[in-house]
Amino acid sequence: MTFMMGDMVYWTPFATPLGTAYAASTSKGLCRLSVPEDSREHFFFWLQRHFSQEQIKPHPEPNIEIIRQIDAYWRGERTRFEIRLDLRGTEFQVAVWESILRIPYGHTTTYRELAETVGLPKGYQAVGAAIGQNPTLVVVPCHRVLGSDGALTGYAAGGDTKQWLLQHEGAMLL
């Protein structure tokens, strides 16, 4: 556990077409975004691993713009997010997540191709592990990463949600 003292995190529940989700932000940006298949307990477990209990507060204001942009995404009015991020992970995880941010809306890539992008051509399993720790699902669109055969594998929120998101985006599957 690595707590950054004085760094408050503000969380907010909000409605999506798939059910209730949660957003959490620091002064640096969005640090955690759940999808409805991600339980409330899992959301708070993540927060408690990264922040002390005194730092975690319910407050909608820091998340209003994030929720507005996500709502526009659900309505099909937004294909890119303009949200500041406070990505909390290892250097390798952050590099993978930043590479995922460059996958265009409506397109997909594979774990192998992403591994090559981050300079670890045979590291597709390590890339998969990093993707599995993505704290900001949908905004860091790891649902756009597929198995080498085009299979909808490895999405933390489940295959049905991954398929729904790709269909929502009209993704060109491999």
Q: Which of 90, 86, 87 is nearest to 126 (CA)?
A: 90
Mark whether 142 is an active-site residue. yes
Q: Which of 103, 127, 137, 142 is catalytic?
A: 142
What is the torsional sign of CA 42, 130, 142, 135?
positive
CB atoms within 10 A of CB 45: 10
Pairing of strands 56-58, 9-16: parallel
What are the counts of helices (DSSP H) followed by strands (DSSP E) for the chain?
6, 6
Q: Report the distance separating Cα 116 and Cα 114, nearest Å.
A: 5
CA 134: distance to chain centroid? Answer: 5
Active-site annotation, residues:
142
